[in-house]
Structure 1
């Protein structure tokens, strides 16, 4: 039996939390959390040394990719938490977002 993946709601993520966004570049450009670290899912293992110490909240679009990353990070002994519902839940909770373009931020 598998252990449950640590998770929380978007509304419960502390304002000063360390965030890891594992979406692809076009998704990131459309809208992301200001100050989040962006490492696409396929690059996480190679770039694990870039992750900050301490608790890390992991985001993707709806929570599937981030759950995979959280499972991996927990296996590596890291304190990682999946944000249930991903960026859609973040946006739905009214949490702030920015974009990498001149457009208003949105979830792609």
Structure 2
């Protein structure tokens, strides 16, 4: 398995604030509806297709997240196998880490 990177919460927050991060949520519809990180794009793992990931943009990092960090690793591996070398970063603790840090989620 390839080497993947964890992004610290404060770096993710900064990247979302300054537009240098494209965030992708790979949880399922019910989880998304219950609460997701504002600005995230929804691409559930059950229908995951690396071709549907956002196109790479200069100066922007794609960050994938799920509930706790397991499905995001699966998604990164699928992206790598699909030829995407730019999808190697995730929020290791997932949305649980986000919520446990007292950060807000948006409901669908």
Q: Please state which band the TM-score falls in when normalised by the shorter chain.
A: 0.7 to 0.9
Q: Is the 8 A contact 1:10 1:85 kept in 2?
A: no
Matches within 5 A, 1:40-55: 40-45=44-49, 48-54=51-57, 55=61
TM-score, scaled to structure 1: 0.78
- Extract unaligned runs of 5+ from structure 2: none
Matches within 5 A, 1:1-108: 2-13=1-12, 14-15=15-16, 16=19, 17-45=21-49, 48-54=51-57, 55-75=61-81, 76-80=83-87, 81-100=89-108
Which whole-Å CA distance do the structure 2 matches of 1:29 and 1:88 have between them? 15
Which whole-Å CA distance do the structure 2 matches of 1:89 and 1:43 have between them? 24
- Extract unaligned runs of 5+ from structure 1: 101-108
Which whole-Å CA distance do the structure 2 matches of 1:77 and 1:40 have between them? 17
**Structure (1 or 2) with the greater helix fraction:** 2
The alignment of Structure 1 onto Structure 2 pairs a total of residues equal to 98
Q: Is the 8 A contact 2:2 2:77 kept in 1?
A: no
